[in-house]
Amino acid sequence: MTFRPAIIQDIPQIQIVRNSVKENTLSNPNLIKDADIEHFMTKRGKGWVCEVENQIVGFSIVDLEENNVWALFIKPAFEKKGIGRKLHDLMINWYFKQTTETIWLGTSLNTRSEIFYEKCGWDKVGMYGEGEVKFEMGFNNWQKTENHDQ
């Protein structure tokens, strides 16, 4: 398993991962364009990928403009292997090196990702959009977790 910053050439494989998930699926796979991913990775924030045998199996992207986790997705066959947690920690450690602003995200209710973010130390703060729970992580809370700056 290799973890590294995402590059533009990764976008086709990132799209495959995004469209392979069983939870938090897109109503229309064409909603997220390659240009959107590139913009979030290069202009608004940064992304990371996990590769196994030269294939991307997971990715994360954080948005500094909206102080938001824009994406964190793992191919279903690679779930429960610690990939999501490692991508999460890389992303959030980098984020809090750029700013101390509270970061937020939305995820579908009653999903494994909802439980994942709770285990990562995020606070539920209400609802967001249509049926999503909103989470926040403050700088001080992240500093208290065991995974900051690893």
CATH number of domain containing 131: 3.40.630.30
Characterize the bridge pairing of strands 103-108 and 123-128. Answer: unpaired
Q: How confident is the model at residue 24 (pLDDT cuts 50, 70, 90)?
A: low
- Any domain includes 89: yes
Residue 132, CA distances (Å) to 9, 13, 128 in order: 31, 26, 5
**pLDDT of res. 148:** 62
Provide the number of structural domains found in the chain: 1
The 10s digit of each residue's pLDDT in 28-46 is: 566 788 899 999 999 999 9
Is residue 23 included in any domain, yes or no? yes
pLDDT digits (tens, 9 = 90+) for 46-105: 999 999 999 999 999 999 999 999 999 999 999 899 999 999 999 999 999 999 999 999
What's the pLDDT tens digit per position in 97-146?
Answer: 999 999 999 988 888 889 999 999 999 999 988 888 999 999 988 887 76
